[in-house]
Amino acid sequence: MSTAVPRRAAAPSRRNWRFRLRRDRSLLLMTLPAVVLLIVFNYVPLSGLVTAFQEYDPLVGVRYSEWVGLDQFSRLFTDPLFWGSLKNTLYLSFVQLILFFPIPIALALLLNTVLSERLRNFIQSVVYLPHFFSWVLAVTIFQQMLGGAGALNQFLRGHDLGTWDVMTDPGTFALLVTSQAIWKEAGWGIIVFLAALAAINTEQYEAAAVDGAGRFRRMWHITLPGLRGVIMLMLVLRLGNALTVGFEQFLIQRDAVGHDAADVLDTFSFYYGIATGNYSYGAAAGLFKSVISLLLIWGANRLAHAFGEDGLYRK
Amino acid sequence: MAIEWNRRRFISAAATVVGAAAMAPALSACSGSPAPQTGANTEPGLRAALPAYLPNTAIRPEIPSVAGGPDVLTDAGFLTYPANPVATVAGVPGRGGSYTAVTPLWGTVPSAGNSFYQAMNKALGVDLAMKPADGNNYNTIIPTMTAAKRLPDWIQLPAWWNPNFNLGGLAGTQLADLTPYLAGDKIKKYPNLAAIPTAAWRTGIWGDKLYGIPGFATGLPLAGIVYYRRDILDAKGITADQVRSADDYLNLGKELTDAKRGVWAFDDVWTYLSPAWGVPFRWKVDNGKLVHKYEMPEFLEALDWHYRLATAGYVHPDALAGDNANASPRFYAGKTLIQGGGAGNGAWNVADHESGTAATPGYRRGAFNIIAADGKSNPQLFLTNSTSELSYLNSNLKPEQIEELLAVANYLAAPYGSAEYTMVNFGVEGVHHTRVNGVPTPTDDGKKNVQAQTYPFLASPPQVISNPGADVVTKDNAAWQAANAKAVYKPVFWNMNVALSQALATAEAAQAVEDTIKDCYHGKKKVSDVQAAIAGWKSGGGDRLKQWMTDNVLQKYGTGQ
């Protein structure tokens, strides 16, 4: 971001380009390691996508594997399990967007109203903490608390109150995983909003207070407009990642609720591709996901621009 | 423990038939191209390639092996370790060659050039650089080597990962043909290798040629058996002999489950108990026709019974939630009383005994006998492959190098209790182990460098039952094997290697059906859902797989029984 050139730069000419290169060379040098990393680990492996059009055999390698064109895709598009996992992915994404997305914003606003710095730091640490747990641990904690033999159900059983099968019920799985995600990630998600809040000029609040604006009006007319750019950016990113709802979380709980409810595109690629040595099929599913994601992020970005926001970059 | 658990646990998953296309341009099954090589063996070809079998009688076990039928033999039991181990190899096997070897290791990798490796090199007379690789990622590490055609001189390729390794393709291209060195009486040059049972050598033969050296071979390979908490059931007056049918199991479920106290009778048992309905590992031949287990009514009956077991509330909720990792702690703590597990030394060993008694003093693992579900037919359980660990030599080696490494393999395969076995498994006395009550006990150095097993994955003697410090385990295990050895049978295509094209291997894995089966025995899907999944599987490749197996394997090579 910081290396972005001023918007109204002069028409690109050779001299100008050289001048800018010389002027920004230390910044460019500093970004070089990251760029190399990106090329080596993100762009070069893209060439592996070619296996989606092959019957890839690790023994003979990419060069000598048989070329099958779009066979993997035609198989994919007639596979009910694939459509099932796509449906699950979109549904979970939708549920998370509605239930999960507003929570870090609300948390950030709430935290912002806490005046005592010590209390605020304490609350912040407590809500951050679960982010550093692995999904294995997070799911284990849920299982120990809410599982069939967990604390809650043993208590209910002990008092003859029946049991509550929340960890293994496919019907409420979307709510379960969303609440797990909120518990684990909402605290971490507030960081970016807190940073945006810190960037709002406090004089605006003072001026508004002098004009007689109450707490709610200040939030509505100053805080939220100040956050709008960041919220939009996060929304664009979220929509672009609509087909990525997590992997470990579903992998771990797949047996608990059954594959029909728990398979998302990523676990589909794993179980029906990699796990059975069917690499090309998994690659085809992955490529499909990437293409759709690219379209989604492009569309969301266009939408942001249409609303006059920056989106991923300034137009 | 970790080693044992991983290695044996996967035996149940080890496929008799192995996957991925044979050799050069992979042929898709429906393209109409010539059929790929099957890798299977002809009867005469197999007979010509198989090494002779000369059992070793140098060391006598306290509990001798019992024969259960042709090719079926219980593991010998040892209650004491020989005080003065005898040497079975004269002199030093090697002639100073330098080699590298890669084996899987579940644990911390010992440092290169440690005192144990040095001592072994001296004893073997070669410079053998051991390069253990992480066992959990082994199936992804090795394909990078095979793709680059950079296999080490000697490598362990577990049979249960065959689909990832494409052994059918590797045999003959990157792996050395050992037939000229070991077939028939030629193996007599290597007496310890000759003491490995013939059935285990069959798993190393591809297309009538011998490639693999079997390790950890057993005469009673089973997918697993049904265990119970003997200390707790004994106290209730329940013995293994009383459980003779599926109904008996259901009654036990009712009697033993006490959910309020957090005790459930069962953990997952599907894999281990379903054979009682006559369900084979994968295939069965009925009136000369090949039948897949999915097509058998017995299979659906077994599934229905397991569905009822789960929905009746006799299975621990965490097991139903798919938490297998904590199955052992549940069993040790008495939260479950019946569980399935690996046979042989897989679950029934001294490490299990120590963990169990640490959780509950008086802990004792017992196993139910093999049963027939109806309680009237003959009890039956299929055998799995006689070994799931095979090592291979690189095809780039010269004949004299192959002979040198086979002599080293002969040293590594020395029988239990011999001087060589002591060296390979416990290291040098006084440095890597000391004798405590006559039992070789690792020192700290030994724990670090010797107990992280590497050499046995290149070659090892047939399995024995030996649990120093826990004689009760050895006696119980040996007694169970002796009582049940007659109830096992050789399944169709036993110990047979078949290379499948990717499309057929996918059909064979039947991931969608297996997923639905799991949901069913966890009580989440009905048997009718599994039937629907099976119908989809049949039209989506299952029928083609059956046809291919019938045409290319059954009709050409027979059942291998």
Distance between CA atoms of residues B481 and B221, nearest Å: 11
> Which residue is closest to A159 within chain B, CA to CA?
B260
C-alpha dihedral sign at A90, A92, A95, A101 = negative
User: Hey, are the CB atoms on A157 and B19 less than 8 Å from each other?
Assistant: no
User: Hey, are the CB atoms on A58 and B143 less than 8 Å from each other?
Assistant: yes
Query: What is the three-state SS of A80-149?
Result: HHHHHHHHHHHHHHHHHHHHCCHHHHHHHHHHHHCCCHHHHHHHHHHHHHHHHCCHHHHHHHHHHHHCCC
Distance between CA atoms of residues B166 and B143, nearest Å: 9
Distance between CA atoms of residues B488 and B480, nearest Å: 13
* Model confidence at B213: pLDDT above 90: yes
Both structure tokens of B332:
């040790």
Q: How far is CA A76 from the centre of its chain?
A: 25
H or E element that contains B292: strand B289-292
Question: What pLDDT is attached to residue A1?
Answer: 40
Q: B487-521: per-residue pLDDT in tens?
A: 999 999 888 888 887 788 888 889 899 999 999 99
Residues of A in contact with B28 (CB under 8 A): 55, 66, 68, 71
* Start-to-end Cα distance in chain B: 34
User: Hey, are the CB atoms on A149 and B318 less than 8 Å from each other?
Assistant: yes
Q: How confident is the model at residue A58 (pLDDT cuts 50, 70, 90)?
A: confident
Work out the angle at residue B430's Cα, subtended by the Cα atoms of residues B427 and B435, and round it to the nearest 5 degrees.
Answer: 85
B417 sits in the region (left: phi over 0; alpha: psi -120 to 50; else beta) called left
Closest CA to B510 of B528, B530, B525: B530
Helix axes A173-198, A80-99, angle to 10 degrees: 50
CB B474 within 8 A of CB B77: yes
Residues of A in contact with B166 (CB under 8 A): 57-59
> DSSP code of B383?
B
CB proximity under 8 Å: A 229-258 to B = 253-258
Strands B389-393 and B381-382: unpaired
Nearest by CB to residue A259, choosing from B19, B166, B515, is B515
User: Burial of A14 by CB count in 10 Å (0-12 exposed, 13-18 middle, 19+ buried)?
Assistant: exposed
H or E element that contains B465: strand B464-466
Chain A to chain B Cβ contacts (< 8 Å): 117
CB proximity under 8 Å: B 217-276 to A = 259-260, 262, 264
Question: What pLDDT is attached to residue B143?
Answer: 82
| ipTM of the modeled complex | 0.79
Distance between CA atoms of residues A57 and A155, nearest Å: 53
User: Hey, are the CB atoms on B143 and A59 less than 8 Å from each other?
Assistant: yes
C-alpha distances out from residue A65 to A53, B28, B504, Å = 10, 11, 17
Q: B433-450: per-residue pLDDT in tens?
A: 999 988 899 999 999 999
Question: What pLDDT is attached to residue B325?
Answer: 85
A170 touches chain B (CB under 8 A): yes
What are the helix and strand counts (H, E) for chain A? Answer: 17, 2
Distance between CA atoms of residues B375 and B250, nearest Å: 13
Could you tell me how many residues make up chain A? 315
Q: How confident is the model at residue B207 (pLDDT cuts 50, 70, 90)?
A: confident
C-alpha distances out from residue B529 to B368, B526, B535, Å = 31, 5, 10
State the smallest CA–CA distance between residue B415 and chain A in angstroms: 36
A105 touches chain B (CB under 8 A): no
Distance between CA atoms of residues B451 and B157, nearest Å: 20
Q: How confident is the model at residue B320 (pLDDT cuts 50, 70, 90)?
A: very high
The mean per-residue pLDDT over the stretch A184-208 comes to 89
Selected for mutation to probe chain B from A57, A167, A260, A267 (highest B CB count within 10 Å) is A57
> Which residue is closest to A274 within chain B, CA to CA?
B164
List CB contacts of A292: < 8 A, sequence separation 6 or more: A243
Question: What pLDDT is attached to residue B19?
Answer: 32
Over pLDDT 90: what percentage of chain B? Answer: 68
CB B519 within 8 A of CB A258: yes
Write down the H helix ranges in B360-501.
399-412, 419-426, 444-449, 471-484
Distance between CA atoms of residues B460 and B409, nearest Å: 8
Question: What pLDDT is attached to residue B18?
Answer: 33
* Model confidence at A3: pLDDT above 60: no
Question: What pLDDT is attached to residue A13?
Answer: 57
Q: What does pLDDT average to over chain B? A: 88
CB B226 within 8 A of CB B392: no
Question: What pLDDT is attached to residue A82?
Answer: 94
User: Hey, are the CB atoms on B511 and A257 less than 8 Å from each other?
Assistant: no
The mean per-residue pLDDT over the stretch A287-306 comes to 89
Nearest by CB to residue B321, choosing from A59, A168, A276, is A168
C-alpha distances out from residue A265 to A46, A80, A93, B42, B196, Å = 18, 13, 12, 44, 47
* Model confidence at B5: pLDDT above 70: no
Q: Count the neighbouring beta carbons within 10 Å of the beta carbon of residue A220.
A: 12
* Model confidence at A249: pLDDT above 80: yes
> DSSP code of B540?
I
User: Burial of A146 by CB count in 10 Å (0-12 exposed, 13-18 middle, 19+ buried)?
Assistant: middle
SS3 category, B412: helix
Q: A91-124: per-residue pLDDT in tens?
A: 999 999 999 999 999 999 888 888 788 998 899 8
State the smallest CA–CA distance between residue B406 and chain A in angstroms: 26
Question: What pLDDT is attached to residue B8?
Answer: 37
Selected for mutation to probe chain A from B257, B515, B544 (highest A CB count within 10 Å) is B515
> Which residue is closest to B171 within chain A, CA to CA?
A59
> Among the ranges A289-298, B170-179, B266-275, which has the highest mean pLDDT value?
B266-275
User: Hey, are the CB atoms on A271 and B322 less than 8 Å from each other?
Assistant: no
Closest CA to B371 of B482, B253, B272: B272
Q: How confident is the model at residue B86 (pLDDT cuts 50, 70, 90)?
A: very high
User: Hey, are the CB atoms on B511 and A271 less than 8 Å from each other?
Assistant: yes
> Which residue is closest to B519 within chain A, CA to CA?
A258
Residues of A in contact with B143 (CB under 8 A): 58-59
Question: What pLDDT is attached to residue A307?
Answer: 80
CB B202 within 8 A of CB B50: yes
* Model confidence at B10: pLDDT above 50: no
CB proximity under 8 Å: B 178-207 to A = none
SS3 category, B533: helix
A49 touches chain B (CB under 8 A): no
State the smallest CA–CA distance between residue B26 and chain A in angstroms: 6
Q: A10-50: per-residue pLDDT in tens?
A: 455 566 888 888 889 999 999 999 999 999 999 998 888 99
Question: What pLDDT is attached to residue B37?
Answer: 59
List CB contacts of A215: < 8 A, sequence separation 6 or more: A113
User: Hey, are the CB atoms on A64 and B25 less than 8 Å from each other?
Assistant: yes
SS3 category, B506: helix
User: Hey, are the CB atoms on B164 and A277 less than 8 Å from each other?
Assistant: yes
Distance between CA atoms of residues A313 and A315, nearest Å: 6
Q: B527-560: per-residue pLDDT in tens?
A: 999 999 999 999 989 999 999 999 988 988 888 7
Residues of B in contact with A272 (CB under 8 A): 511-512
Over pLDDT 70: what percentage of chain B? Answer: 93
List CB contacts of A94: < 8 A, sequence separation 6 or more: none
Q: How confident is the model at residue B163 (pLDDT cuts 50, 70, 90)?
A: low
Q: How confident is the model at residue A312 (pLDDT cuts 50, 70, 90)?
A: confident
CB B283 within 8 A of CB B17: no
Closest CA to B412 of B176, B178, B213: B213
Both structure tokens of B80:
């004491």
* Model confidence at B118: pLDDT above 70: yes
Q: B290-302: per-residue pLDDT in tens?
A: 999 999 999 999 9
Q: Hey, which residues does B367 pair with through a beta bridge?
A: B227
Distance between CA atoms of residues A186 and A109, nearest Å: 13
Selected for mutation to probe chain A from B524, B525, B526, B530 (highest A CB count within 10 Å) is B524
Q: What does pLDDT average to over chain A? A: 87
Distance between CA atoms of residues A36 and B104, nearest Å: 34
Distance between CA atoms of residues A117 and A115, nearest Å: 6
Q: B216-225: per-residue pLDDT in tens?
A: 999 999 988 9
Q: How confident is the model at residue B11 (pLDDT cuts 50, 70, 90)?
A: very low
Residues of B in contact with A271 (CB under 8 A): 511, 515
Nearest by CB to residue B505, choosing from A147, A271, A277, is A277
User: Burial of A43 by CB count in 10 Å (0-12 exposed, 13-18 middle, 19+ buried)?
Assistant: exposed
CB B384 within 8 A of CB B16: yes
Distance between CA atoms of residues A148 and B63, nearest Å: 44
List CB contacts of B467: < 8 A, sequence separation 6 or more: B349, B350, B353, B473, B474, B477
State the smallest CA–CA distance between residue B29 and chain A in angstroms: 11
Both structure tokens of B447:
């724990």
CB B180 within 8 A of CB B191: no
CB proximity under 8 Å: A 123-162 to B = 143, 147-149, 153-154, 157-158
List CB contacts of A73: < 8 A, sequence separation 6 or more: A52, A284, A288
Residues of B in contact with A147 (CB under 8 A): 317-318, 321
Nearest by CB to residue B318, choosing from A81, A143, A260, is A143
**Strands annotated E in B314-426:** 336-341, 365-367, 381-382, 389-393
Distance between CA atoms of residues A211 and A222, nearest Å: 13
Distance between CA atoms of residues A266 and B24, nearest Å: 31
Report CA Rg, chain A: 24
CB B383 within 8 A of CB B222: yes
User: Hey, are the CB atoms on B524 and A277 less than 8 Å from each other?
Assistant: no
User: Hey, are the CB atoms on A254 and B511 less than 8 Å from each other?
Assistant: no
> Among the ranges A88-102, A180-194, B296-310, which has the highest mean pLDDT value?
B296-310
